[in-house]
């Protein structure tokens, strides 16, 4: 019994020493409330709401606005000769069933085009600006608030070559040779009857004269007139100083009526020719 008591005495001393050495420090006193930030209560929230007023309501969700325009998307299928060119330009016209003309927008170096048009039946036509190409068209129904697609295939025309001379055989320069061709546009466009009148597209182009370019008398101007109601496409060129001309026409085998005129009103000669024959020689009266 004595040995057991003696063995517990050192253990009690060790435990007491450890407890005294690792005594937990006293807890810090609670921090005093800052005089600038009083404790909040429900009355503060009430005062804040009263000061701000009611929260404004959220705006109603935006409603989708339906498109009111009709869009034409198109693509060209150019002949291989034109696809190799680095630069080309054209315009797109839309002839309407009620006799109006829409479009006329020009496009450069792209075979894709888009136009905003009114709804209805349209004859969409390709108009070359820099190249000798045909004037293909496609008749489509443009839906209201919708889209429609077209594919136009211009072709390389036949060049009708010739010379205009007077009765003495001298070349006549500066006159215009115009070829008149029939197109099937009226039969395809005016299914509900033809309008009393229809707008035409008529343009003349005069190249810019450069000091380094050819002589002024050799500058060739072009002329185009599209009459949708008559179904007629007219293309013209001016003769050079010696009376020579190269006029694009659609076919090499179909007869083509020609008009030789000075200016827009003075007609010098009218005749029908075969483009595929030998180079033309057109004799006009002496002036």
In a domain, 17, yes or no: no
Structural domain containing residue 104? 68-156
Q: Which of 97, 126, 156 is the last residue of a domain?
A: 156
Residue 29 lies in a domain: no
Question: What is the distance between the alpha carbons of residues 128 and 5, in angstroms, rounded to a whole number?
Answer: 123
Instruction: Give the residue with greater pLDDT, 2 vs 72.
Output: 72
CB atoms within 10 A of CB 95: 28
Residue 131's pLDDT is what?
A: 81
Distance, in Å, from the CA atom of 249 to the CA atom of 272, rounded to the nearest integer, reads 13
- Tell me what pLDDT residue 65 has: 41
At 209, which CATH number?
2.60.40.1120
- Is residue 1, in this structure, part of any structural domain at all? no
pLDDT bin (cut points 50, 70, 90) of residue 54 is low
Least confident among 8-12, 45-49, 119-123: 8-12
User: Does pLDDT of 186 surpass 70?
Assistant: yes
Statement: residue 41 has pLDDT above 60 = no
Both 90 and 110 in a single domain? Answer: yes
Same domain, 82 and 185: no
- Asked if 174 and 286 sit in the same domain, the reply is yes
For the cut 70, the answer to whether the pLDDT of residue 27 exceeds it is no
Angstrom distance (rounded) from CA 78 to CA 69: 29
- End position of a domain, from candidates 109, 141, 156: 156
- Nearest residue to 72 (alpha-carbon basis) of 170, 139, 17, 134: 139
Indicate whether 237 and 259 sit together in one domain. Answer: yes
- pLDDT-derived band at 46 (thresholds 50, 70, 90) equals very low
The CATH number given to whatever domain includes residue 104 is: 2.60.40.10
Q: What is the DSSP string of the chain?
A: -HHHHHHHHHHHHHHHHHHHHTPPPPPPPPPPPPTTSPPP-HHHHHHHHHHH-SPPPPPPPPPPPPP--EEEEEEE---HHHHT-S--EEEEEEEETTS-EEEEEEEES-SEEEEEE-SEEEEEEEEESSS-----EEEEEEPTTSEEEEEE---PPEEEEEEEE-TTS-B--S-EEEEEEE-SHHHHH-TT---S----EEEEE-PPP-TTS--GGGPPPEEEEEETTTTEEEEEEE--TTSEEEEEES-SSS-EEEEEEETTTEEEEEEEE-TTSSPEEEE----
| Residue 87: predicted pLDDT | 84
Q: State yes or no: pLDDT of 212 exceeds 90.
A: no
R_g (Cα) of the chain, nearest Å: 45
Model pTM?
0.71
Looking at the structure, tell me whether residues 131 and 79 fall in a common domain: yes
For residues 117 and 197, membership in a common domain is answered with no
Instruction: Please give the average per-residue pLDDT across 101-109, as a whole number.
Output: 95
Same domain, yes or no: 247 and 174: yes
Q: How many domains does the chain have?
A: 2
Task: Give residue 109's region: left, alpha or beta (phi > 0; psi -120 to 50).
Answer: left
At 221 the pLDDT is 87
Confidence of residue 85 (pLDDT cuts 50, 70, 90): confident
Residue 282 lies in a domain: yes
Q: What is the mean pLDDT of residues 145-151?
A: 93
Say how far apart CA 180 and CA 235 lie, in whole Å. Answer: 7
Q: Are residues 173 and 145 in the same domain?
A: no
- Find all residues with CB under 8 Å of 189, minimum gap 6, and list them: 95, 97, 121, 122, 123, 139, 228
Task: Classify residue 27: in a domain, yes or no.
Answer: no
The pLDDT value given to residue 94: 97
Write down the pLDDT at residue 277. 81
Is 244 found in the same domain as 121? no
Q: Does residue 181 register a pLDDT over 80?
A: yes
Shared domain for 166 and 149, answered yes or no, is no
Average pLDDT over residues 4-30: 43
Q: Are residues 174 and 285 in the same domain?
A: yes
Q: What average pLDDT does the chain have?
A: 80
What confidence tier does 55 reach under pLDDT thresholds 50, 70, 90? low
């Amino acid at each position: 019994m004595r040995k057991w008591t003696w063995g517990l005495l050192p253990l009690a001393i060790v435990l007491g020493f450890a407890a005294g050495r690792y005594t937990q420090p006293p807890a810090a006193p609670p921090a005093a409330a800052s005089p600038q930030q009083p404790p909040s209560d429900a009355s503060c929230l009430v005062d804040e709401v009263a000061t701000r007023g009611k929260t404004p309501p959220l705006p109603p969700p935006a409603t989708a606005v339906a498109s009111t325009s009709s869009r034409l998307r198109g693509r060209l299928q150019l002949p291989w000769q034109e696809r190799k060119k680095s630069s080309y330009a054209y315009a797109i016209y839309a002839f309407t069933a009620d006799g109006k003309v829409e479009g006329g927008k020009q496009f450069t170096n792209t075979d894709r085009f888009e136009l905003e048009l009114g709804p209805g039946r349209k004859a969409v036509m390709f108009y070359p600006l820099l190249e000798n190409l045909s004037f293909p068209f496609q008749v489509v129904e443009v839906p209201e608030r919708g889209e429609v697609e077209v594919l136009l295939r211009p072709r390389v025309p036949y060049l009708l070559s010739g010379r205009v001379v007077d009765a003495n055989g001298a070349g006549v320069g500066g006159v215009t040779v115009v070829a008149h061709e029939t197109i099937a546009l009226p039969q395809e466009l005016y299914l509900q009857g033809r309008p009393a009148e229809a707008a035409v597209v008529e343009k003349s182009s005069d190249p810019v004269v450069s000091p380094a370019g050819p002589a002024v008398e050799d500058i060739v101007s072009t002329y185009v007139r599209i009459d949708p109601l008559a179904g007629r496409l007219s293309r013209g060129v001016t003769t050079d100083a010696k009376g020579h001309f190269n006029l694009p026409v659609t076919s090499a085998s179909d007869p083509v009526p020609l008009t030789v005129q000075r200016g827009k009103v003075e007609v010098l000669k009218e005749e029908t020719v075969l483009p595929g024959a030998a180079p033309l020689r057109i004799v006009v009266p002496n002036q």
